Chain A
Amino acid sequence: MSAVQLAASSSQQTPHRRRSARPLVCLLVYAILLLGLAVTLVPFIWILLTSLKPASEIVRIPPTFFPERWTLDSYRTIFTDPKVPLARFYFNSAFVAISRVLITLFTSSLAGYIFAKYTFRGKNLLFGFILVQLMIPFQVVMIPAYLILVQLRLIDTLWGLIIPSMVDAFGIFLMRQFISTFPNDLLDAARIDGAGEFTLYRRVVMPNLGAPLATLGIFTFMATWNDYLWPLIVITTHERRTLPLLLTWYTSQHGQRYDLTMAASILVLLPILVVYIFFQRWIVRGVALTGMK
């Protein structure tokens, strides 16, 4: 207690010395941060190393951390398994994710622009409906959503994963917030130049939406890529599975073969990690900005 007070009183006189005067505190801070880093990374590293071990080494007790013999056997087994046409599953996941991103970006920016820049009767009511939508968890409406898909004959199709989520309330909300700050003069200038309203949206508004479109696009992509519950309900045919579904199916087939299941996990994690490495700044900033979850 008194030591802390002493440190404080010394920093009071010379604020510059504060950091250098407490090397121990600084060291402790870094020690804790590095410990956190280890806890975050070690599970990933461990499954990566597990996937590089031969099958005989997996069952050893106690297990080895680093492989005694490095091998790509597990990956080779997965790639050559006729029951696992990997390209097919990557295509399924990518097709659904990219379609949803493109459609969501279009509908969100269009509706967000209209709610931000036009005045019309019923606007508050309609936007209120969007806000209410934000509060409804997917699990609450998934049963009726399923029954609608049955009526539309979209069960067990990839379109069944895309069509129910073409309009995103959060996306509309985010875009409206951003476009509200957009100067009206620019829009009016384009109008005087004879631009129609849709041209205005396409040529003036859209090119200025880079940052929010990127943020919304990346989040939609990751959410779709990692989605599990809805595909689990909709998809039944093996060839139409998305990657997370493939992963649980594969794990159920090869329960104790941890070299294989961990290699499969790595294969599912890899694309999203690549996306993350490239767009890390946008993603982290997006969360900080929107409190997205």
Chain B
Amino acid sequence: MTQAVMARHAGEPRKERSGLRPGQRVFVWGSLIPIFLYLGVFALFPMVWVVVLSFFNYSPVRVGDGPLGLGGRNPFIGLDNFAAMFADTRAGQIFRISVKNTLIFAFLVLVVNLAITLPLAVLVESVHNRVKGLFRAIYFLPTVSSAVAVAIMWGYVYHPQQGLLNNFIKLIGLTPPKAWLTDPSAFVFGVPLAMIAVIIAYVWMDFGYNLVIFIAALQGIPHELRDAAHIDGATGWSEFFHITIPLLRPTLLLVCTLTMISSFQVFVIFQVMTGGGPQNQTRSLTMEIYENAFRYQAMGWAASMSLVLFAMVLIVTLVQFRILRTDWEY
């Protein structure tokens, strides 16, 4: 051991470049080889396999004669799965509806979420330190709660007769909708009412994340900047739009990306609250993938749809990198 230490000291400048001593080699590769063998099976293989599956008409209930159950009765069909996405069939239509729903959901969630969290973060940041922590802790509470329990809870909140929301609306003298989650003919600005209801429940559940991130970012803004703005005569509003928002740009970008990407993947709240109904108005892409893969066992078709989900996530991520690279504010 001491010899190894001596050797290392003798070869100090070399060590940085050319890597490991024998003892270290055993430790590093002894640890990394199992970890990456594992990742090869549970991370790399699934990534490759989902692409392969998307070129097959594969179902696990049929036995193919090739490797891993492919071939034979699970035939290679080229790009047919992707062509089916644009075809005028029932499956193609529902797929397109689910993509549209997912995009509407993600976009509206982002807008509503930012409209709430950004001003709320400024307000929380402005109050006394002692209550600030309390507000933040309670606002964050829904995000740690079980999504299933929250979805069941909101299903009851939206109950047409017994629900909290409709009775509150009646209490303040307005006419509530006759059903929040099951009426296919109810729209608000062209968006199905059931979708609006799911968006409200989801934003309620999720806004704590962005709020906490924004509060942390606001605390990072140097006080000198605000003081300088005050001396120049900036009011609350102009301070918000000309000092706070520009300085929050990197955070804002991160938050937008994370919110978009996680909204693309929402499953529980749709599945439990509406089951995709009424008339597929709240069917999301992840629900569509889940149902085709595990209820109808159409895994080739579902694999090609999950590649579309991946493409959506990838596009948002790349756009973020692009903006970050071209747009250094400070």
Residues of A within 8 A of B (CB): 4-5, 7-9, 11-12, 15, 25, 29-30, 32-33, 36-37, 39-44, 46-47, 50, 58-59, 61-63, 107, 110-111, 114, 118-121, 126, 129, 133, 135-148, 150, 163-167, 169, 191-192, 194, 196-198, 201, 222, 225-226, 228-229, 232-233, 243-244, 247-248, 251, 258, 261-262, 265, 268-269, 272-273, 275-276, 280, 283-284, 287-289, 291, 293
Q: Are A143 and B31 in contact (CB under 8 A)?
A: no
With most chain B CB atoms within 10 A of its CB, the pick from A120, A143, A262 is A143
Cα(A232)–Cα(B289), bound, Å: 14
B5 within 8 A of A: yes
For residue B278, give the distance in angstroms from its CB to the closest CB of chain A.
17
Cα(A153)–Cα(B287), bound, Å: 25
> Among the listed A7, A37, A262, which residue makes an inter-chain contact with B235, where contact means beta carbons less than 8 Å apart?
A7
Chain A residues with CB under 8 A of B153: 43-44, 47, 262, 265
Interface of B is mostly: helix
Cα(A269)–Cα(B152), bound, Å: 12
Q: Which of B257-292 contact A (CB under 8 A)?
A: 258, 261-262, 264-265, 267-268, 271-272, 286, 289-290
Q: Are A248 and B306 in contact (CB under 8 A)?
A: no
Residues A283 and B254 in contact in the complex (CB < 8 Å), given A43-B164, A50-B156, A110-B31: no
B90 within 8 A of A: no
Tally of chain B residues near chain A (CB < 8 A):
103
B326 within 8 A of A: no
Mind listing 21 A-B residue pairs with CB under 8 Å? Answer: A59-B162, A61-B161, A110-B31, A114-B32, A119-B15, A135-B317, A140-B313, A141-B306, A167-B43, A194-B2, A228-B147, A244-B149, A262-B153, A265-B153, A269-B149, A272-B145, A284-B212, A287-B140, A291-B255, A291-B258, A293-B258
B197 within 8 A of A: no
Q: Are B19 and A33 in contact (CB under 8 A)?
A: no
Q: Are B262 and A293 in contact (CB under 8 A)?
A: yes
Cα(A111)–Cα(B306), bound, Å: 29
B87 within 8 A of A: no
Chain A residues with CB under 8 A of B60: 147, 150
Chain A residues with CB under 8 A of B27: 114, 196-198, 201
Q: Are A145 and B235 in contact (CB under 8 A)?
A: no
Q: Are A272 and B146 in contact (CB under 8 A)?
A: yes
For residue B147, give the distance in angstroms from its CB to the closest CB of chain A.
6
Q: Are B124 and A33 in contact (CB under 8 A)?
A: yes
Q: Are B268 and A62 in contact (CB under 8 A)?
A: no
